[in-house]
Structure 1
Amino acid sequence: MMREPVKNPGKQPKNGAEAVLLGLKRSGVNYLFANAGTDFPPIIEALAALGPDEIPEPVTVPHETAGVAMAHGYYLVTGKAQAVMVHVNVGLANSVMGMINAASDNVPVIVLSGRTPITERGRPGSRITPIQYGQEMYDQTAMIGEITKFYYEMRYPEQGEPLVARAAALAMSEPRGPVYLSLPREPLMEDIAPSADFSVPANPPATAPRPDPDAIATAATWLAGARHPLILCQRSDTQGLLAERLSALCNRHGIGVVEPFTIRNVMASDDPMFLGYDPRGPMAAADVVLVLDSGVPWIEALHRPGPDVRVIHVGPDPLFQRMPVRGYQADLVITSDATAAIVALDAALDAAMPASDERAEKRRIAAGTLSETRRTSAKAAAVSGCASPMSAEWMSLCLSEALDERAVVFGELGVVPGAMTLKGPNRMFNNPHSGGLGWALPAALGAQLADRERLVVACIGDGSYIFANPVACHQIAEALDLPILVMIKNNGLWNAVRRSVVNAYPKGAAARANTMPLTSLEPAPDYLQVAAASRAYTERVEHGRDLPAALERAIKVIRTERRQAVLDLRIAVSDSH
């Protein structure tokens, strides 16, 4: 529904900085994650001058990548975009990796940065320190132009709220993603004339795209006539509506679902139509494949469908325009919100093939058998990894059994999804395919901030833990009373790099070497001492049999003492993950 323009809503800002902060709050932003610099005086003064109900709550974040990841994690569990403010070009440079991750995952984050003063004298905010010369750039926004949906530099103080409102609306419009505003000190400090007309028009996000009925009818005909239809998906919406609708469609019509390279889990692990996370077997048998809002549905060199297979792509940006090279087969492409497309497709399938149809029943039985076999096999494989060092599958199984109904896990080269029993959608968030490491730990902090009573877990590799700026993250956890559980999957090396080399040169010199070049993290630091410096509960687990009890102790500390807990786990090196 369209909103009427807002005439002088609430307090009228005195200057550009107040206009920015009031605009953020009026755009639905609850938190401003900030890493301050010498360009921040007008923002800090405005934070102190305005009432706490009029502005986002400021959160001091001692590293920029942590701030962006916290906003990312907050969105994943709430569906609400938050704001991050960093210091001129150097702070923006530190935040770029987080923005790359947000862009890859279509996560809306409103990123603001200062800009070194433009003028040398004569105006409020003109330069007064040497670094304000050294931090000047010809085009500061060039660092993030390719990865943001919108970027602009504020010129006048009265632009503060309209620019913020536009940026927020674009960030939340499909396909969603990060936006950026550059804020020089001069317009932030300049006064707005009291007599100025401060009407700010409503600026809601655009409505989500709806599917073309004829295209849906074609897709339904293909799926209804298929012997082995298959749906591939990688992420759920933040409210879990897609998962609910998808499960209903698939169980009625006997269509199996695989989540290859999952980012935000969609299906419950025990759903009879859920076939797991490996596309190889289901893809080999499929004759019609529906790719649902998935940027990387399969690896062309490994899983490419045969020439007789029909492939349908559906999503808000079904061709993923931001990817320069993406050559997947596409016989039908439908631009649509994923949930809206599934609702429409379900209705069309009911007409083309009622749930009572014998074909649907045969497909339900076949998919259910595959699903049950997968779960039984995965659990057996995980149990066999209870050793010293333990397998990542055993670690994932133990973690899964320790989680309650509402717990969420942020994984970064950590958990093995197939070994877990996920009770519904959005229980597991994996690092985006952009691969900017150091994401999961601060993203978990953002999720914990959004819901302080929920158990939030970050399960990460030892290399990822180093990338996360753990000193900053543990300080944030203690300062904000965010008692997350951190599990460090410690195998002493960059295993993703090692696997990549072995796959490329299986009989090469590097694969035969006792220590592969550029992969070892030995001698390893004592990660637990890093966490203990911020008064975290810490424990080292060497044998798999001790993990269930260690998890129980850590979760008890979180629940009763409201204190962060960190487990350092000795994990076996794996060639598969």
Structure 2
Amino acid sequence: MKAEAPKNLPSEPEPGWGSDAMAAVLRSLDLTYIALNPGSSYRGLHDSLVNFAGNTEPQMLLCLHEDAAVAIAHGWAKVTGRPMAVAVHANVGLMHASMALYNAYCDRVPMLVLGATGPLDARARRPWIDWIHTSADQGALIRPYTKWDDQPGSVQAALDSLAQAHRVTRMAPSAPTYVCLDIALQEQRLTSPPKLPDTRRDRTPRAPGPDVASVDAVHAALAGARRPVFLMGRVSRDPADWDRRVALAERYGARVVTDLKVGAAFPTAHPLHAGPPAMFLPEASARLLADADLILSLDWIDLPGVIAAAGAARVISCTLEGALRNGWAKDSYGHADLDLEVRADPDRLVAALLDREAPPSRAPAVVRTAAATARDAADRHPDTDDIFMADLAEELAAATAGGPTCLIRLPLGWRGADLHVDHPLDYLGGDGGAGIGSGPGMAVGAALALENSGRLPVAVLGDGDLLMGGTALWTAAHYEIPLLVVVANNAFYYNDVIHQDRVAARRGRPAENRWIGQAIDDPRPDLAGFARSLGLRGIGPVRRRADLFEALAEGVKAARAGESVLVDVGVRPDGYTIQTH
């Protein structure tokens, strides 16, 4: 990655300004990057990050929008499990960032967000601009969907607040934290060196493990079950945790259900994997749950929504979700009738269970088999050279077959049957909040985290997602971050076309009008040209199936050589079943 090194730095071993001390604390927190869109409200901190801290630890990532800055930090956290810092400008920048913060909150990722405000002392405010960029209790804008926030009133309090925010965001369940820094504190000259918090002392485990009684209870339930099913939801990207999840399922012969909304949790080719993952519970998985005698949920999203399919099975849930529930956000999904709730990190429960003696009556471990990759005849369209989503999936798999990849994002129309994972970084899941516009920024952040990993970062985005958040890709081009973005471009907000179709059918109204207010056409945006304007290699538009592999292979080759690349692929919106949200 390209770095921007400052020149002629003064020799200042001790902080001379309030913002210097803040930069010194950030440097002690093991923060690799700070994504930002610059603003005058934190001009003091900006200067300190460059001219006092030397633009290292954290290094600045210039973004073209606060929403992109937060999305980049979100993508980084999904790969690394670690927080990135983000700086947003005053109340206006925080409002820009709010949707991306909601995504990060729903996705339970760590992130340290720094905001700023004009002087709280009204006598110190500049005319006009400081007044409209100053708000009382600025954190209230995002408090319902952040984990912790503060607006400290002194330099020393600000230093302690930054250390506390970093600690809180890393503690499971993770979510963004926010610290609002008064510009007057940033620009306050220090008369003596402040006391910096000793951030290196903290060795607290970031996720609590289960208590002995809970492990005993789950162990006994598994030992007595004959038809157990594991629901694998939000779990870690650690390969060792992945191997333990596989080992636990094999030990008990448990069938495993996975979810497209979250990252890879279990190998899809494994014979215990119950079937293709989906955004909503597939009918086959519902039947499996109805036949189960024990269901173990490992932080499954919307567990109450699948309990109805569980029949008479005992239900055990392992999650830390209760710590983040509040009255504003309804992502607790309602009440679930449980036989046991284990308040612990799911992967730590899995490890604890494997430490117990395996039941002697269990069959030997299951041997993995290769996944079937053939497409159903119904998916093939020999009478047309148009590109369907299944064609894109097939050709992308072929084009990337030369090395490991990471599917950062997939569009709604992507079938679970076309997702093949055998490693926790093969697929990263959705954005948490199920909005639109987050994909480009998250792709950049994840690609940055994957740099030098040997794994090709690939994001398959819808055209609506790309157009709403696409300027985030400039950051990838500017910092020379290898990345392949493939746009599944159907020239519609097609999810909502289907909704309009259903509403029209229910009301007896003409379905042929469903496209009005949905078509991204006339004029049709030149997405490859847009990418080139941002400094990426733009390929396409590709409209014929016969040209698809060659275009994707060109993109793969360029991205593996270190380029940021976008391939615009025109896909048919029909011809597959989409689960609408």
CA shift at 1:532, angstroms? Answer: 2.0
* Structure-to-structure mapping, 1:224-243, within 5 angstroms: 224-243=223-242
CA distance in 1, matches of 2:55, 2:130: 33
Which residue identity is paired with 1:171?
T
Contact 2:115 2:181 in 1 (8 A): yes
Moved more, 274-283 or 178-187: 274-283
1:329 aligns with 2:330: no
Which residue identity is paired with 1:565?
L
What is the percent sequence identity of the aligned residues?
Answer: 23
1:393 aligns with 2:390: yes
Contact 2:230 2:256 in 1 (8 A): yes
The match for 2:9 is: none
From 178, 184, 188, give the equivalent of 2:186.
188
CA shift at 1:211, angstroms? Answer: 1.1
Which residue identity is paired with 2:83?
A
Rate the CA distance shift 1:445–1:198 in 2: closer, same or farther, 3 A. closer
Contact 1:81 1:172 in 2 (8 A): yes
Query: SS of the counterpart of 1:171?
Result: helix
* Unpaired stretches in structure 2, ≥5 consecutive residues: 1-11
Contact 2:158 2:181 in 1 (8 A): no
CA distance in 2, matches of 1:409, 1:382: 25
Rate the CA distance shift 1:562–1:218 in 2: closer, same or farther, 3 A. same
Rate the CA distance shift 1:159–1:308 in 2: closer, same or farther, 3 A. same
Which residue identity is paired with 2:393?
S
CA distance in 2, matches of 1:268, 1:289: 19
Contact 1:19 1:160 in 2 (8 A): no
CA distance in 2, matches of 1:521, 1:53: 41
Deviations 1:65-122 (A, max 9, x none): 110111111112222211000110110001111111111111011111111222344x
Contact 1:230 1:290 in 2 (8 A): yes
1:426 aligns with 2:425: yes
From 276, 298, 302, give the equivalent of 1:296.
302
CA distance in 2, matches of 1:382, 1:465: 29
Which residue identity is paired with 2:352?
A
CA distance in 1, matches of 2:304, 2:520: 31
The match for 1:554 is: 555
Query: SS of the counterpart of 1:425?
Result: coil
Deviations 1:353-385 (A, max 9, x none): 23x635x78xx59xx8xx87xx53873368626
The match for 2:54 is: 52
Rate the CA distance shift 1:460–1:509 in 2: closer, same or farther, 3 A. farther
Contact 1:501 1:511 in 2 (8 A): no
1:575 aligns with 2:577: yes
The match for 1:133 is: 131
1:342 aligns with 2:350: yes
Moved more, 503-512 or 222-231: 503-512
Which residue identity is paired with 1:72?
H
CA distance in 1, matches of 2:507, 2:19: 59
CA distance in 2, matches of 1:319, 1:141: 19
TM-score w.r.t. length of structure 2: 0.87
CA distance in 2, matches of 1:294, 1:511: 39
CA distance in 1, matches of 2:503, 2:218: 38
Deviations 1:436-459 (A, max 9, x none): 321221111112222334411111
The match for 1:539 is: 540
* Unpaired stretches in structure 1, ≥5 consecutive residues: 1-9
* Structure-to-structure mapping, 1:272-421, within 5 angstroms: 272-275=271-274, 276-277=276-277, 278=282, 279-297=285-303, 299-300=305-306, 304-317=308-321, 321-322=325-326, 323-348=331-356, 350-351=357-358, 353-354=359-360, 357-358=362-363, 375-376=371-372, 379-380=375-376, 384=380, 388-403=385-400, 404-414=402-412, 415-421=414-420
The match for 1:90 is: 92
**Matched pairs, number:** 548
CA distance in 2, matches of 1:446, 1:489: 20
CA shift at 1:29, angstroms? Answer: 0.5
Moved more, 519-528 or 483-492: 519-528
The match for 2:160 is: 162
Rate the CA distance shift 1:334–1:97 in 2: closer, same or farther, 3 A. same
CA distance in 2, matches of 1:222, 1:529: 58
CA distance in 2, matches of 1:217, 1:35: 51
The match for 1:5 is: none
The match for 2:6 is: none
Rate the CA distance shift 1:540–1:460 in 2: closer, same or farther, 3 A. same
CA shift at 1:328, angstroms? Answer: 2.7
Contact 2:461 2:487 in 1 (8 A): yes
The match for 1:526 is: 526
CA shift at 1:161, angstroms? Answer: 2.6
CA distance in 1, matches of 2:170, 2:521: 44
RMSD (Å), alpha carbons: 2.7
* Structure-to-structure mapping, 1:424-573, within 5 angstroms: 424-453=423-452, 454-468=455-469, 470=470, 472-502=471-501, 506-509=505-508, 512-523=511-522, 524-535=524-535, 536-560=537-561, 562-573=563-574
CA shift at 1:34, angstroms? Answer: 1.1
CA shift at 1:320, angstroms? Answer: 6.4
Rate the CA distance shift 1:545–1:269 in 2: closer, same or farther, 3 A. farther
Which residue identity is paired with 1:330?
L
Deviations 1:301-341 (A, max 9, x none): xx723441111100233686353542233111101111110
CA shift at 1:175, angstroms? Answer: 0.7
Deviations 1:242-274 (A, max 9, x none): 321110111232111111343111112222222
Rate the CA distance shift 1:482–1:160 in 2: closer, same or farther, 3 A. same
